[in-house]
Amino acid sequence: MPRRYWLFKSEPNAYSYDDLLRDGVAEWDGVRNFQARNTLRDDIQEGDGVLFYHSNEKPLSVIGTAIVVRSGYPDHTAWDPGSDHSDPKSTPDNPTWYMVDIKAEYRFPTPVPLEQLKTMPELAEMVLLQKGSRLSVQPVTELEWNAVVALGKQSG
């Protein structure tokens, strides 16, 4: 199967790209949206590429890439009563929520701001840029991936 591409949003005050660099591998837990869950469980494969997006805190930008090192498996924080994301309806025998593991791959010399993405005609269809899109795990086309990575590689 060809490599596929995704975009993960994270609020950097909750979990930043630097946190990912520090941790090496991160469990992408706590996703509690069914559409994003389906993507995590069914679609994301080891080796896929992830654009790491910082939301909610300026500068809003894609700050680097990550690589998926483990495909979807049950999110154990759902049945951890101490977790912020605990969900008593999800159990080890019948998990509701899924996660993947990712590893930092490439920190852009130049983070790519949301404002810049909006100016690029070839990115007009990007899920991130659709009005009202709140998906925290979303697909990215190969063309979109290549365009964003090219911008991030530029210096200055």
Partner DNA sequence: GCCAACGTTGGC
Binding residues (CB under 7 A) for DNA: these are: 9, 11, 32-35, 55-56, 60, 114-115, 130-136
Which residue's CB is nearer to DNA, number 96 or number 141? 96
- Using CA of residue 88, residue 80, residue 138, residue 61, what is the dihedral sign? positive
The 3-state secondary structure of 97-116, one letter per residue: CEEEEEEEEEEEEEEEEHHH
CB of 55 to DNA, least distance (A): 4
- Using CA of residue 78, residue 79, residue 81, residue 82, what is the dihedral sign? negative
CB of 57 to DNA, least distance (A): 8
99 φ, ψ to 5°?
-145, 170
CB of 38 to DNA, least distance (A): 10
* 103 in Cβ contact with 66 (< 8 Å): yes
Which residue's CB is nearer to DNA, number 24 or number 132? 132
Which residue's CB is nearer to DNA, number 55 or number 83? 55
CB of 35 to DNA, least distance (A): 6
Q: Which residues contact 24 (CB under 8 A, 6 or more apart)?
A: 103, 104
Which residue's CB is nearer to DNA, number 35 or number 91? 35
